[in-house]
A and B are shown apart, each in its own frame.
Chain A
Amino acid sequence: MTHSRYDIEMLSAYLDGELSQKEKIYIEEKIKSSLELQRKLNELKKLKSVTNESKPVLEESFYFEQRLMASLNFSRSKSEKIRKWLPVFTFSGLAAALIFVLSINPQFIRNIIEQQKGNLADFYKSNLKPLLYAANLSSEDIFNFALNEELPLDPSNSQILKLSYDQTGKEYFEIKQNSEASSKNNLNNFVSALELSEFEKTQMDSILKVYSEKISAQVLVSDKNAIAINPNIWNLRKAILADIITFAKKHGNENFRKIAPIDKVPLPDKNIVWLEKVKTQSPKDFIFVTPDTVFSAEINIDFAELNRDMIKATEELKKIEKENSRHKILFKFPKDSSLADLKENIKSDKSFRIFVHNNGVQVHLEKFEIPDLELPDFDSIASIISEATRNFSVVNVGPPQLPEVPVSNNFRIKRETNYFPKNREVNVDSVIEENNRRNELGNKRRQSNNNLHNDSSSNEIKIMVDSLIIKQNEELRRQIEQLRKEIEKFRHDMQNMKNKEKIEQYEEIIKMLEDQIEI
């Protein structure tokens, strides 16, 4: 009888004493009844005993522990060394990885920068509001902007946005502290000089009001110290100037001729509303100036909604003004800002060239294209009108009627700056003459004047300075007259010398020289 493999396997485990009680009873029953299983069990017993007896006797290993400890110390010092050099390996590994990544994908860093730029743009884009909120642009501001390219950024007119052109004719703008005292009467003076009717004045005012809203949408400010400027503002400013001059020429024809030489004004015969030309072009890309950087980014403006907002905003502003708490956003470029870190003439971007100075920041538009519209260039006329309107009050004022002087340590004299004579006959020729004379005086005087302008009592001082200059001029004139006479006399003498006397004189001189040599 042959037994199953299971039984023999169980026999092996039975020999090792590894069977359960049940299995043990089962196999013992089987062994009793089977000679073959008994023989197999004996065979396994013998094999087990032979195996057990064959166990080799292993010689003791001397210095096992010492060897082990030495190995452990070595591996420990090795791991310590690795730990010591780990930062170096890590950094060099990172550098190698970066080089590898850049060699495969050179756009990698650029992509990261672009992404960061996007994030930065989003940060500054939030909370953007039209300039009307911040500066509460008046008709006067718009008029001054058209003439002088300076737009106030806050109600107190302490900071301005100045548009300009560099030597190559490329546009640039500045955000800076306003060093000059703001004149609030230029528009009034201009309108008065043109002798416009009340209705015409209202018309003029409405034109400027429309532009006020338009400009507000081109210059956006945020409470995060950022300002966004639409490059179309250059065109808008040209359009305002063109509209002002067109209107002035049409309605104050003769008087306007006195202010500006009319021959130089190439106005079209047709009545063109210049604003309409600018309206069609309004780029979505705004130039952002922030304390960190200057960049361009797209802003989508719903102009219809903006107009509605603007109406609301104007109403709100009126309320706020009543409450005497105006919005005041001042653009500061703190010392720790990245723009402030830039030294002059450092290219921060391909599109812009940034100059940081004490008063603010200047941004040159290098590769940034401004829509090219066919708008007349009246800059030369603008400067004439600007000077003329500024000088109205200076030249034509009679002796100022000073109100009572308050007693104070500063001895400040309060005076109506809006003073305008009741006599409406304005001698415009005298204005131009005065203007020309002033231009001759040069920059030195202008600088000293600018310093004085910062004072509220500037008008009085200005008059004093003017009278001094007139005196100085008279003295100069006298001196020049004397010099002229002397030159005339000298010239006459010279002509006489050309004749016979000249040879005789030479002979005398030679004789004298010969005598001296002998001595």
Chain B
Amino acid sequence: MNSDNKKEDMEQPKILTLDDDFSLIKQFIDGDHDSFKVLVNRHKEKVRNIIYLTLMEPDVIDDIAQDVFITVFKNLKHFRFESQFTTWLYRITVNKCKDYLRKKAVRKIFSPIKDEEEDIASFRINEDPDIKEIVRNAIAKLPDKLRIPLVLRDMEGFSYQEIAETLNCEIGTVKSRIFRAREALRKILEPLEKELFV
């Protein structure tokens, strides 16, 4: 009986742990470039999602994700194994997103003036309104510093601690910003209160 139990333990699929990322990184440092491919394959979707949720622009996701992994590739030899690989990876991802937003803001200054996008208050509901799309648009209207912690929490399921490490700030700040983001989102969606909350 006991031996059967042991056998079952042996046959169980290996669960990915933190050490798996670390061992892959060690292999990469030792010259095995294929281990990097495994790392990319394992984390690319999460990275792409964060980029999408942070920027709400589907067209730039892959370019920025590529840029994230190129940076990882170049700096992986200097990884210090002090924190989780994902914390380091997501921080790079968020920073790349912030860089993009900064460049976009600068570009906007020098681009011809366009009509402001329609306010969500005057958002005309289609014949078959897509609630999810409305919410996504409302989230997109939030300022970056409120939107990013909110999506990491409510869409990606990050803990406050993880968000604080990724954004390189205090947990109290994360707590406050998530609350303010929710307050702002509620106000934006107020005209649709009946459709959304009832």
Contact = CB atoms under 8 A, between A and B. Distances in A.
Interface of A: 8-9, 12-13, 16, 18, 43-44, 46-48, 50-56, 58, 60-61, 64-65, 67-69, 71-72, 75
A278 B163 CA distance: 93
B196 A46 contact: yes
A53 B131 CA distance: 10
Contacts of B45: 58, 60
B110 to A, nearest CB: 28
Given A9-B176, A18-B175, A51-B150, A58 B70 contact: no
A13 B175 contact: yes
Given A18-B160, A51-B150, A58 B61 contact: yes
B40 A58 contact: no
B182 A47 contact: yes
Contact of B52 (A9, A48, A56, A72): A56
A58 B49 contact: yes
Interface string B143-166: 000000011011100011000000
Contacts of A64: 40, 44, 62, 65-66
Interface in B1-59: 37, 40-41, 44-45, 48-49, 52-53, 58
B101 to A, nearest CB: 18
B40 A50 contact: no
Interface of B: 37, 40-41, 44-45, 48-49, 52-53, 58, 61-62, 65-66, 69-70, 73, 131-133, 135-136, 139, 150-151, 153-155, 159-160, 175-176, 178-179, 182, 185-186, 189, 196-197
B178 A68 contact: no
Contacts of A47: 182, 185-186, 189, 197
Contacts, number: 93
A13 to B, nearest CB: 5
Nearest to A18: B160
B44 A48 contact: no
B185 A51 contact: yes
A50 B131 contact: yes
Q: Is the interface of A mostly helix, strand, loop or mixed?
A: helix
Given A50-B131, A50-B135, A58-B49, A65 B41 contact: yes
Given A18-B175, A58-B58, 10 more contacts: A44-B182, A46-B197, A47-B182, A50-B135, A51-B185, A54-B131, A64-B66, A68-B69, A71-B66, A72-B70
A65 B40 contact: yes
Contacts of A67: 62, 66
Contacts of A65: 37, 40-41, 44
Nearest to A49: B154
A43 B139 contact: no
Contact of A68 (B52, B66, B197): B66
B153 to A, nearest CB: 6
Contact of B132 (A13, A48, A53, A72): A53
A55 B133 CA distance: 9
B197 A54 contact: no
A16 B48 CA distance: 24
* A-B pairs, 3 with minimum CB distance: A54-B135, A12-B179, A55-B155
30 contacts: A8-B179, A9-B179, A13-B160, A13-B178, A13-B179, A16-B178, A18-B159, A18-B160, A46-B197, A47-B197, A50-B131, A50-B135, A51-B185, A52-B154, A54-B132, A54-B133, A54-B135, A54-B139, A58-B48, A60-B45, A61-B44, A61-B48, A61-B61, A64-B44, A64-B62, A65-B37, A67-B62, A68-B69, A68-B70, A75-B70
Nearest to B68: A68
Given A16-B178, A60-B45, A65-B37, A48 B154 contact: yes
A69 B37 contact: yes
Contacts of B65: 61, 64
A9 to B, nearest CB: 4
A60 B58 CA distance: 12
A56 B182 contact: no
Nearest to A55: B155
Contacts of B131: 50, 54
Contacts of A48: 154, 182
Contact of B197 (A16, A43, A53): A43
A18 B189 CA distance: 25
B69 to A, nearest CB: 5
A232 B153 CA distance: 95
A31 to B, nearest CB: 16
A9 B175 contact: yes
Nearest to B56: A56
Contact of A16 (B133, B139, B160): B160
B193 to A, nearest CB: 9
A58 B155 CA distance: 13
A12 B178 contact: yes
A448 B139 CA distance: 114
Contacts of A44: 182
Contacts of B49: 58
B160 to A, nearest CB: 5
A208 to B, nearest CB: 82
A459 B80 CA distance: 93
A9 B178 CA distance: 9
Given A50-B131, A61-B62, A43 B186 contact: yes
A50 B196 contact: yes
A228 B53 CA distance: 84
A51 B70 CA distance: 31
A60 B49 CA distance: 10
B37 A16 contact: no
Nearest to B41: A65
B136 A54 contact: yes
A283 B193 CA distance: 105
Contacts of B136: 54, 56
B73 A72 contact: yes
A151 to B, nearest CB: 72
Contacts of B62: 61, 64, 67
A71 B70 CA distance: 8
Contacts of A56: 52-53, 58, 132, 136
Contacts of B176: 9
A48 B58 CA distance: 23
Contacts of A46: 196-197
A69 B186 CA distance: 43
A55 B139 contact: no
A227 B37 CA distance: 74
